[in-house]
Structure 1
């Protein structure tokens, strides 16, 4: 059966792949090693990590080379959404993963990125509800894509998802692993809707997440309402860094005018291209894990500058 454009867009969106009080998270499962073809280095899985705010889901933790030996060393942390797509092709939505484990291994070895811990948070069937920035929506309903039925705003749980990351998952990771805990050493990254929630994480918690990697960010959702929210809630420059990119094929072909406006707003606010703002256009790139894998080193280098 052929899918129309609405069906393809919805499938990709749903299935793709100040001081804040910290509370003790529910007891998490012990980590189990993940091995297999396509996985490089030490990858640990906390299966069905529990939460008081959102549904339980797997959380994968990749440790940089030498972690076990360098017992006095602490590491920056990169949190990534759509975690099943990050390291392992056998769990990836398209059976092609982002290759973050391989890319990080290369970048660390050649000195192009800091050694870091990467925490990959799996998505759930409520991906759209968890990744759609809630405070950007002003009405009781919104239309994700033209032709969609109205979607109830009350179903959006992005704020709960960020509460999970900030008050449950991050404290657990900081307690369980040797991390550097401040915003300068804590970043968040994702693609499509994952790009939106990454930007939203920094807008809402600029003192927790110092950097956002927003890959093929799905700005057109709900008529571009997140664009206006970002313009109104952008942190003052100097404490946070934003990476944006987009391709020119498939859904990504819609993104350029939105991204150009976002870039203009950020430059006008005082963000400096190449310093705390990086925005790339990838000619011929489409909207899938293979495309993001092909350019993954660029945001990793920007977020994890040596």
Structure 2
């Protein structure tokens, strides 16, 4: 174990990753290992941080593993690092999915959100560029700086993935590489899935924040602002989705708090995905969770179901 951790730390330093504390499982009730890297340099981006979860047995064999990349990594595993004292419990969800026998153990790479830069790092550049002027001005006010999702995606799909595949025993091909996130992270996951189909074979876009700004303000940007923005998202999917080709996409939302605004947008996106020839339940899924709010406990409650559908080994090409 110590030899493995020392090797990973040394490789991280060689590649410009500065490891912070290394957290190991504290008991048999918390299997797996968590490795944390701080002060991660990424071209064109604020400083990044990583928490990597290795499944049980990783350090005792030669097996190679699929990889799941997840945004908002500080909210995935540890209440002490979370924003709202709530977490996705992604490691526990993965263990539950694995216990079904239908989901292979995955390495989970949690990429922390960079504080106030989260919005401009996660907002898809395509949507920002295509937005009408009034809506774009509101996006710019939210961003507080240039949109950098292009640079973030380039880093995710390039240097970060290369480092993970070099230093961990991964299955690096598209069909064993997934990405997931919620809210603005849901939008970013869709962006990665559409723009880099060569890298990401599976994506979960959870409670995606389709309004992109305060949903109560979208209607102020144009007479048909909400409908126009929904069509923009639909056009974006129609233009970038392509054929399924063995890929899988998960979409969902609740019906309370912020999620209460999402149904019209999701309906438009769903219609365009279906029209592109994707088979619902096989190539893609879209779920509504009555009463579910826009928060980590709600996402944690359905994450095992998401993993069981998205990562099902029987559905691989």
Q: Kindly provide the CA deviation profile for residues 188-224 of structure 1, in whole angstroms up to 9, marking residues without a partner as x.
A: 0000010000000011100001111000011122634
Instruction: Label 1:140 to 1:300 Cα distance change in 2 as closer, same or farther (>3 A).
Output: same
Whether the 8 Å CA contact 1:76–1:185 is kept in 2: the answer is: yes
Give SS of 2:161's match.
helix
Bigger share in helix: 2
The equivalent residue for 2:217 is: none
Give me the TM-score of the superposition, normalised by structure 1. 0.84
Q: For 2:120 and 2:134, locate their aligned partners in 1 and report how far apart those are by CA, in whole Å.
A: 12
Q: 1:130 aligns with which of 118, 121, 124?
A: 121
Q: For 2:281 and 2:144, locate their aligned partners in 1 and report how far apart those are by CA, in whole Å.
A: 36
Q: 1:254 aligns with which of 257, 261, 264?
A: 261
Q: How many residues align?
A: 280
Give SS of 1:34's match.
strand
Bigger Rg, which one: 2
Q: For 2:144 and 2:35, locate their aligned partners in 1 and report how far apart those are by CA, in whole Å.
A: 35
Matched, 1:228 2:200: no
Q: 1:298 aligns with which of 295, 302, 305?
A: 305
| RMSD of Structure 2 on Structure 1 (CA) | 2.4
Q: For 1:142 and 1:203, locate their aligned partners in 2 and report how far apart those are by CA, in whole Å.
A: 26
Q: 1:106 aligns with which of 96, 110, 122?
A: 96
* More deviation, 121-130/32-41: 32-41
Whether the 8 Å CA contact 1:42–1:62 is kept in 2: the answer is: yes
Instruction: Label 1:119 to 1:150 Cα distance change in 2 as closer, same or farther (>3 A).
Output: closer
Q: Kindly provide the CA deviation profile for residues 247-279 of structure 1, in whole angstroms up to 9, marking residues without a partner as x.
A: 000110111111112111111111111111011
Whether the 8 Å CA contact 1:29–1:47 is kept in 2: the answer is: yes
How far did residue 293 of structure 1 move? 0.5
Unaligned runs of 5+ in 1: 1-24
Give me the TM-score of the superposition, normalised by structure 2. 0.82
The equivalent residue for 1:75 is: 65
